[in-house]
């Protein structure tokens, strides 16, 4: 997750920012992330002004003149069209994260499938996902549009730049409109890869050393990660433990994807004929201990 320096006031002309939002709207629509009039996008103009998309319009066909301006409480200040009811979600994130300038909410199908299944996103699989996303949380469900819905992201926004909204979609945020959108695109591509890998038969997890190298690289590039802040080690790093305490309240449970072996320990080869249960347990124990760098009892 990106470091939380205060947001810088943009020097871009208002019309250029409107064009950028319309461009991201087209990308969301063309990607199939927003059917009909789904989704909304915002950008912080200053301490009390936020540019946002209107309600009841396809994000693939917006014009700069369609966009609205609201204050930090959601009151509309400018625009011919009515602002989106879900702007409260955007404003809540901006209030919680002073470094965030832009918020993108949409319904990418593969990530939203995880939202519907309430399935935690497996970790320690793809290097890009470890560096740019890390553990991705899933909120509890609330009817979209109100402040109660917006508040569902509060437990998570300090530890992630993208959040899955239960039975609804995703919301991602960053310094620019494009960066805010990136996290959603990376997440949906990852969710699709996970589904395809599962169809092939298995998901292979990275090892302890491989994962630690990625986390070190992440820190070197200026990104933080709650797994390092909490001093997690061994199985904890790949076990979705950053947000596991929220699972009971949000209905999240691991069903489709098995938990990784300890830090990606390799699965033992097929059992040779003639081995009894005691011998098999000994082989498995020695294999896991070897991967963890400890001596079997």
At 67-79, the pLDDT tens digits run 999 999 999 999 9
Tracing tokens 């938990």 back to the chain, one arrives at 259
Task: List beta partners, residue 162.
Answer: 172
Mean pLDDT across 280-286: 61
Q: State the pTM of this model.
A: 0.85
Instruction: Evaluate whether the domain defined by 14-200 bears CATH number 3.40.225.10.
Output: yes
* Share of the chain residues as helix, strand and coil, in percent rounded to the nearest 5: 40, 10, 45
For residue 24, give Cα distances in angstroms to 19, 56, 60, 221.
9, 17, 9, 26
pLDDT in tens, 212-230: 899 999 888 888 888 877 6
Nearest to 147 by CA among 73, 53, 212: 73
Q: In angstroms, how far is CA 63 from the centroid of its own chain?
A: 28
pLDDT in tens, 77-123: 999 999 999 999 999 999 999 999 999 999 999 999 999 999 999 99
Phi/psi at 196 (5° precision): -65, -40
Alpha helix ranges (H) inside 133-257: 147-151, 177-200, 208-220, 226-229, 247-250
Q: How confident is the model at residue 237 (pLDDT cuts 50, 70, 90)?
A: confident
Find the helix packing angle between 14-30 and 177-200, rounded to 10°: 10
For residue 56, give every residue at least 6 positions away whose Cβ sits within 8 Å of its Cβ, in sequence order, or none.
Answer: 37, 81, 82
Burial of 212 (0-12, 13-18, 19+ CB in 10 A): middle
Q: In angstroms, how far is CA 136 from the centroid of its own chain?
A: 4
pLDDT at 242 over 60: yes
The residue ranking higher by pLDDT, 221 or 290, is 221
pLDDT in tens, 44-64: 999 999 999 999 999 999 999
Question: What is the C-alpha to C-alpha distance for residues 24 and 149, in angstroms, rounded to an integer?
Answer: 24
Task: Write down the mean pLDDT value for the chain.
Answer: 89
């Amino acid at each position: 997750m990106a470091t939380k320096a205060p947001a810088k006031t943009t020097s871009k002309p208002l019309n250029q920012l409107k064009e950028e939002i319309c461009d991201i709207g087209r990308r969301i629509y063309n990607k199939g992330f927003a059917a009909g009039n789904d989704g909304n996008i915002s950008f912080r103009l200053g301490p009390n002004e936020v540019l946002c998309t209107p309600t009841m319009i396809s994000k693939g066909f917006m014009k700069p003149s369609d966009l609205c301006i609201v204050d930090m409480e959601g009151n509309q200040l400018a625009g011919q069209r009515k602002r989106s009811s879900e702007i409260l979600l955007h404003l809540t994130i901006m209030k919680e994260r002073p470094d965030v300038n832009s918020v993108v909410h949409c319904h990418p199908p593969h990530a939203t499938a995880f939202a519907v299944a309430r399935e935690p996103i497996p970790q320690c699989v793809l290097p890009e996902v470890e560096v740019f996303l890390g553990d991705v949380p899933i909120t509890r469900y609330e009817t979209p549009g109100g402040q109660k819905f917006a508040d569902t992201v509060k437990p998570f926004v300090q530890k992630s730049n993208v959040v899955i909204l239960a039975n609804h979609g995703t919301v991602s945020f960053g310094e620019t409109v494009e960066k805010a959108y990136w996290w959603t695109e990376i997440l949906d591509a990852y969710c699709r890869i996970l589904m395809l890998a599962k169809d092939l038969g298995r998901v292979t997890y990275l090892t302890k050393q491989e994962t630690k190298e990625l986390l070190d690289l992440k820190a070197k590039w200026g990104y933080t990660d709650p797994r390092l802040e909490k001093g997690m080690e061994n199985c904890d790093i790949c076990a979705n433990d950053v947000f596991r305490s929220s699972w009971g309240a949000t209905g999240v449970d691991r069903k489709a994807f098995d938990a990784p072996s300890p830090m990606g320990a390799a699965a033992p080869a097929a059992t040779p004929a003639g081995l009894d249960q005691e011998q098999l347990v000994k082989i498995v124990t020695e294999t896991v201990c070897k991967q963890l760098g400890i001596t079997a009892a």
